Amino acid sequence: MKKLLSPAFAKDSTRLVLSVALTFVGLLLVTFLIGRVVPIDPLLAAVGDRAPAEVYERVRVELGLDKPLWQQFWIYMVKVVQGDFGRSVLTSNVVLDDILRVFPATLELATLATLLGVSLGVPFGVIAAVNQGRWPDQLARVIGLLGYSVPVFWLGLMGLLLFYAKLGWVAGPGRVSVAFDDYVTPITGVILFDSAVQGEWEAFGDAFRHLILPAGVLGYFSLAYISRMTRSFMIEQLRQEYIVTARVKGLSEARVIWRHALGNVMVPLITVIALSYGNLLEGTVLTETVFAWPGLGLYITNSLLSADMNAVLGGTIMVGIVFIGINLLSDVLYRFVDPRAK
């Protein structure tokens, strides 16, 4: 832990915090400009298109839309930092509350999907690389290709048809069954976590049966990507000289592959996994639609379709924050995996 206290680390951390802050301001600027550039009049949404001109003008001043753009941006930034994204026209809730409600649903789905994708995708990729050109490689290739090319909504529908309608192994659309609606007191909003903490195992089981199919579908996509990347990183590492050294030492093939080669593959793989996780956290509209999953993707899309700009901007900023967070996390992990990273 000496490393964490060194001046070099402190300097690094400062630089990190600065770059995160700068990224965040950039993100706000872009979302703000998009919000002002789109040909949607926020005033019309607020007062309705039959409001008399005086009312229109009064609301314009009240909302501060008569001020210069840079001033508007400043006000906007200050409010966002305080967590105030305004009110959603569509749900008439405070946008932040909406986001805090829908994001845990996406978080739950994306996390389980990523866990599935990593725990299966990495071994798949390694086995494919070790057996390059032979049947396990071909099998992994076909599985991966299917993951890439089959549309997610189709896979979701077929999954529902088979595992829900025909076999009855999993539960249908939605996060929980009607009987368990509002059953668990929300703490984090992640139902699996909340129910487990409160010892509500029946609710946990119900939520899990709802979650496993959409998470499986998304996990399959993540698996397809992660296993392909693992395979190519692995093939590259297996050509390196230190692999020859490991073999010269008389180590078992398992140790050469899983300890020496995979240890080095983890370095680039962290970035790949982080990106894939980030993509899923952004919300996956198609999957959320098929499974009636009240997540971030569905929320942003619905808001966009009804020109609810406050909600759209709030959602966009949330996605941005998630990406910044994921990048930060992968940066930290990177330091643990690669001793060369300073």
- How far is residue 280 CA from its own chain's centroid? 4
Name the residue with tokens 């399959």. Answer: 220
251 binds other proteins (CB under 8 A): yes
Per-residue tokens: 182: 């509002």
Nearest approach in angstroms of CB 223 to other proteins is 25
248 binds other proteins (CB under 8 A): yes
Residues 297, 319: Cα–Cα separation, whole Å: 10
User: In the complex with other proteins, which residue's Cβ is closer, 107 or 272?
Assistant: 272
Q: Please tell me whether residue 16 adopts helix, strand or coil conformation.
A: helix
Nearest approach in angstroms of CB 108 to other proteins is 33
135 binds other proteins (CB under 8 A): no
Nearest approach in angstroms of CB 117 to other proteins is 23
Asked if residue 144 lies in contact with residue 228, where contact means CB atoms within 8 angstroms, the answer is yes
- In order, the DSSP letters of 285-297 are HHHHHHTT---HH
What torsion, rounded to 10 degrees, do the Cα atoms 295, 297, 303, 304 define? 180
Each residue 264-303 as x (binds other proteins by CB under 8 A) or -, in order, gives: x-xx------------------------------------
Residues 186, 278: Cα–Cα separation, whole Å: 24
Residues 312, 36: Cα–Cα separation, whole Å: 12
Any bridge partners for residue 87, and if so which? 94
Tell me which stretch binds other proteins (CB under 8 A): 30-38, 164-172, 242-250, 306-314.
242-250
Each residue 182-221 as x (binds other proteins by CB under 8 A) or -, in order, gives: ----------------------------------------
> DSSP assignment, residue 180?
G
236 binds other proteins (CB under 8 A): no
Nearest approach in angstroms of CB 250 to other proteins is 3
329 binds other proteins (CB under 8 A): no
Select from 74, 169, 201, 242 the one that contacts other proteins (CB under 8 A): 242
Any bridge partners for residue 94, and if so which? 87
339 binds other proteins (CB under 8 A): yes
Tell me which stretch binds other proteins (CB under 8 A): 144-152, 207-215, 223-231, 258-266.
258-266
The amino acid sitting at 42 is P
Tell me which stretch binds other proteins (CB under 8 A): 29-37, 41-49, 57-65, 257-265.
257-265
115 binds other proteins (CB under 8 A): no
CA triple 307-312-318, angle to 5 deg: 175
Tell me which stretch binds other proteins (CB under 8 A): 21-29, 38-46, 197-205, 260-268.
260-268
Nearest approach in angstroms of CB 267 to other proteins is 7
Asked if residue 143 lies in contact with residue 219, where contact means CB atoms within 8 angstroms, the answer is no
Nearest approach in angstroms of CB 137 to other proteins is 14
User: In the complex with other proteins, which residue's Cβ is closer, 128 or 246?
Assistant: 246
The CB density around residue 300, as the number of other CB atoms within 10 Å, is: 24
- In order, the DSSP letters of 24-39 are HHHHHHHHHHHHHHSS
The amino acid sitting at 80 is V
126 binds other proteins (CB under 8 A): no
134 binds other proteins (CB under 8 A): no
Select from 260, 269, 295, 312 the one that contacts other proteins (CB under 8 A): 260
241 binds other proteins (CB under 8 A): yes
| Contacts for 30-38: CB closer than 8 Å, 24+ residues apart | 31/313, 31/316, 31/317, 31/320, 32/72, 32/73, 32/76, 32/77, 32/313, 34/313, 34/316, 35/309, 35/312, 35/313, 36/69, 36/72, 38/309
- What residues make contact with other proteins under the rule CB under 8 A? 240-242, 244-252, 260, 263-264, 266-267, 337-340
